[in-house]
Amino acid sequence: MCGIVAILGRRGQAAPAASLDNAIAALEHRGPDDSGEFRHNNLAFGFRRLAIIDLSAAGHQPMTSMDGALTIIFNGEIYNYLELRRELQLLGQQFQTASDTEVLLAAYRQWGAECVHRLNGMWAFLIFDRASGTIFGSRDRLGVKPLYLWESDDWLVLASEPNAIRATGLCAVEPNWARLADSLARDALDHSEATCIAGISRLPAGSRVWINPDGSRRVDRFWRASDYSPDEPPRADADYVERLGHLLSDSIRLRMRSDVPVGFTLSGGIDSTLLICEAARLAPAATQLNAFSYQDDQFNESHLIELTLRQSGARLVSIANDNLDLSELLPEVLRAHGEPLHSPAEIANYELFRLARQHGVKVVIGGQGADEVLCGYHSFQNDYWYSLADDGHWNTLRADINRFAQLHGRSANALLLQSLRRFAQIRVGGIAGYRRVANRFGPQYPQTALSSLFNPDLMRRSTRSTMVPADFRLTAQQQRAIAIEPLPLYLRTEDRSSMAHSVEARLPFMDYRVVEHALRIPGHLKYSGGLNKVALRRVAAGRIPAEISARVQKFGFPVSASQPIAYKLHTLGRELITSQEFRERGIYAMQAVENLIRDFHPNDPTHVSSVFHLIQTELWLRSLRGNAGMFAARSAA
């Protein structure tokens, strides 16, 4: 796991030495073990290494092929590198190292741009071809590993993080007000290639890029979640469950390949429990597994975690919410992320990776992505009911609602009426004339407690059209969760939080084989009868403690704020809003802000959340100090 940067002079000029050096330095946390650079005419590659596979100096990057024709910088892991290495050796490729980087370089030499179809892993890489002077690059199918891009008439810069692009000193740093408005008005981040920093974008997940010496480029998508949908006709349920179990086990096996210690994040949920229990089954005898957990008093799962520890034999290291000072940690986490956060949960996740590194663990396996891939969110139940109604399966719909009502103690008739009302509203909303009227006369942005704290002119920058799904059927919503929101956001924050502490996060549910299979299974194995992740529950039965595989309640990754923490946030907020810089920013509805601070109550979750987002917005804009400017003046320009 590493950090990469490339600077290309579009007019043939070489990158300034200070620009490359500063960008490499800005990525040191991603790779404290080694650094390197490569220059050729108007191209400069920079690299920071976190040694995970082949810890020797032979794994140094940038890595150049034995004949000097190709040079690569690579961030990520190719989990099936041993299998690929054997195949490539049979085809005549030779190797000097035991690294997956050299395997990736040989795969490109053998198969060209089509090599990406053979890779199982997470990656962002760039390969320079000396003969043609061109660069070929790619990002993994799900976008687990990041690659950001900024360009001007003179320069093209690509890097693992926006902070590295900023560090080159080549680009002016301005807020992307539309993306910031999306986060505040619609709770949406990372739902497009644009970032919250104007001019800096992401290379799309599952894409390849060809870059010419003048910086012109061509991008294509070699993988999309929308290409996969349920089998018609479907196979037997047992076949889908058996296949899912096999793929998950193999995914875990591959992700345990490491030349350094491996740990796990653990909660009381099915996802992380299955990962560590399967790892315990697959690991050699006497292997000590380490589990890292965040404990929140208001959402206590300690008894479930204890069941998992007994079965897996893992050793637990935990951090409690009363040790999590959100106001103290927030500036540090914002600096590490370089972009606004989604919620305080990201601070707890950040501290979990710090905990792992403090205990000598450089690789952490976690359950990120399971909710999107295998339908863990409550909203998927409504999408399944909509699909049944849309297909005219009324008897199945009524039976499924009855099962939900029995499980959750709800009224079946009320749920049926609610489902039918939603179905009708969506159908009417799909009529072109209705949508035009609604878009013209409806609210331009949601009127929420948070949006009311900000200037309406800023809130209107939120791009409403990107927030409205075109298809409400279950598979379409599953595809959207994977490709648009929320998975891209969670993958970004997982990468940034882990790499801030020089820890590699590995995600078995992000194995493309698991994802493709999950998209192919029928709806009733996704979310039905009031139970989420139906297929995963059947896989887990007998492999994890029964109380966990059968649990109905879902916490996610909640982070509560105790009264002392809430008061600290309030104190910080009060200090910020009295500053001249805050008042001249031009984005705040000052009367509403002052009312919130005056009437603040530490036990009101809406108050605490609003103050948190108010604080983080101002602190993030201050991190762009000298470039954030006054919104009112710029919006009028």
- Element (H or E) spanning 121, and its range? strand 121-129
**Structure tokens of 456?**
């309406």
In angstroms, the first-to-last Cα distance of the chain is: 43
Residue 17 has pLDDT above 50, yes or no: yes
**Mean pLDDT to the nearest integer, 483-507:** 97
Three-state DSSP state, 230: coil
Local structure of residue 232 (DSSP, 8 states): S
What pLDDT score was predicted for residue 634?
46
CA distance 287 to 250: 18
| 158 Ramachandran zone, left/alpha/beta (phi>0; psi -120 to 50) | beta
What pLDDT score was predicted for residue 383?
96
**Mean pLDDT to the nearest integer, 526-554:** 92
Residue 492 has pLDDT above 60, yes or no: yes
Percent of the chain's residues with pLDDT above 90? 81
**Mean pLDDT to the nearest integer, 250-269:** 94
Local structure of residue 544 (DSSP, 8 states): B
Give the list of residues 6+ apart from residue 62 with CB closer than 8 angstroms, or none.
36, 37, 38, 45, 47, 71, 72, 73
Of 292, 401, 412, 288, nearest to 357 by C-alpha is 292
**Structure tokens of 594?**
């002052």
pLDDT-based confidence at 49, cuts 50/70/90?
Answer: very high
Residue 286 has pLDDT above 90, yes or no: no
**Mean pLDDT to the nearest integer, 10-27:** 97
- Element (H or E) spanning 157, and its range? strand 155-159
For 432, other C-beta atoms within 10 Å of its C-beta total 7
**Mean pLDDT to the nearest integer, 479-492:** 97
- Bridge partners of 70, per DSSP, are 129
pLDDT-based confidence at 428, cuts 50/70/90?
Answer: confident
Question: For the CA atoms of 342, 347, 350, 355, what is the dihedral angle to 10 degrees?
Answer: -160
Fold match between domain 2-223 and domain 226-449+461-557: no
**Mean pLDDT to the nearest integer, 446-454:** 91
More confident residue, 552 or 239: 239
What pLDDT score was predicted for residue 345?
87
CA distance 205 to 189: 15
Percent of the chain's residues with pLDDT above 70? 92
What pLDDT score was predicted for residue 320?
75
Three-state DSSP state, 346: helix
Residue 409 has pLDDT above 90, yes or no: yes
What pLDDT score was predicted for residue 633?
37
The whole-angstrom distance between residue 411's C-alpha and the CA centroid of its chain comes to 37
Residue 593 has pLDDT above 60, yes or no: yes
Convert the pLDDT of each residue in 347-368 to its tens digit: 989 999 999 999 999 999 999 9
CA distance 477 to 422: 15
pLDDT-based confidence at 513, cuts 50/70/90?
Answer: very high
**Mean pLDDT to the nearest integer, 419-442:** 68
Residue 52 has pLDDT above 60, yes or no: yes
| 54 Ramachandran zone, left/alpha/beta (phi>0; psi -120 to 50) | left
Cβ 157 vs Cβ 6: under 8 Å: yes
Strand 148-151 relative to strand 155-159: parallel, antiparallel, unpaired?
Answer: antiparallel
**Mean pLDDT to the nearest integer, 561-568:** 76
Q: Tell me the residue type at 2.
A: C
CATH of 2-223, one of 3.20.20.60, 3.20.20.80, 3.20.20.70, 3.60.20.10: 3.60.20.10
- Bridge partners of 317, per DSSP, are 292
Distances (CA, A) of 330 to 306, 466, 613: 31, 29, 11
Three-state DSSP state, 449: coil
Q: Mean pLDDT of all residues in the chain?
A: 91
Residue 271 has pLDDT above 90, yes or no: yes
What pLDDT score was predicted for residue 561?
60
CA distance 150 to 161: 11
CA distance 487 to 483: 7
CA atoms lying within 13 Å on the CB side of residue 556: 13
- Bridge partners of 197, per DSSP, are 175
What φ, ψ does residue 589 adopt, rounded to 5°? -85, 90
CA distance 504 to 77: 9
What pLDDT score was predicted for residue 437?
47
CA distance 369 to 487: 7
Residue 568 has pLDDT above 60, yes or no: yes
pLDDT-based confidence at 389, cuts 50/70/90?
Answer: very high
pLDDT-based confidence at 636, cuts 50/70/90?
Answer: very low
**Mean pLDDT to the nearest integer, 3-10:** 98
Break the chain down into helix, strand, coil percent, rounded to 5.
Answer: 50, 15, 35
Convert the pLDDT of each residue in 310-356 to its tens digit: 999 999 999 877 667 888 899 999 999 999 999 888 998 999 999 99
Q: Tell me the residue type at 27.
A: L
Fold category of 226-449+461-557 in CATH: Rossmann fold (3.40.50)
Residue 436 has pLDDT above 60, yes or no: no
Instruction: Classify each residue of 373-382 as buried b or exposed e, where b means 16 or more C-beta atoms within 10 Å of its C-beta.
Output: bbbbbeebbb
3-state secondary structure 60-77: CCCEECCCCCEEEEEEEE
Instruction: Classify each residue of 200-224 as buried b or exposed e, where b means 16 or more C-beta atoms within 10 Å of its C-beta.
Output: bbbbbbbbbbbbebebebeeeeebe
More confident residue, 603 or 221: 221
pLDDT-based confidence at 444, cuts 50/70/90?
Answer: confident
Cβ 301 vs Cβ 268: under 8 Å: yes
Cβ 61 vs Cβ 2: under 8 Å: yes
Residue 455 has pLDDT above 80, yes or no: yes
pLDDT-based confidence at 284, cuts 50/70/90?
Answer: confident
More confident residue, 436 or 94: 94
Is 527 buried (19+), middle (13-18) or exposed (0-12) by CB count in 10 A? Answer: buried
Q: Tell me the residue type at 526.
A: K
Distances (CA, A) of 313 to 120, 295, 309: 29, 19, 5
Convert the pLDDT of each residue in 200-238 to its tens digit: 999 999 999 999 999 999 999 999 999 999 999 999 999
Going from N- to C-terminal start, the domains of the chain cover 2-223, 226-449+461-557, 563-636
DSSP string, 452-488: GGB-HHHHTTS-GGGGS-S--SHHHHHHHHHHTSSHH
CA distance 342 to 187: 7
Of 97, 90, 76, 87, nearest to 118 by C-alpha is 87
pTM of the model: 0.94
Strand 207-211 relative to strand 217-221: parallel, antiparallel, unpaired?
Answer: antiparallel
**Structure tokens of 180?**
């910031």
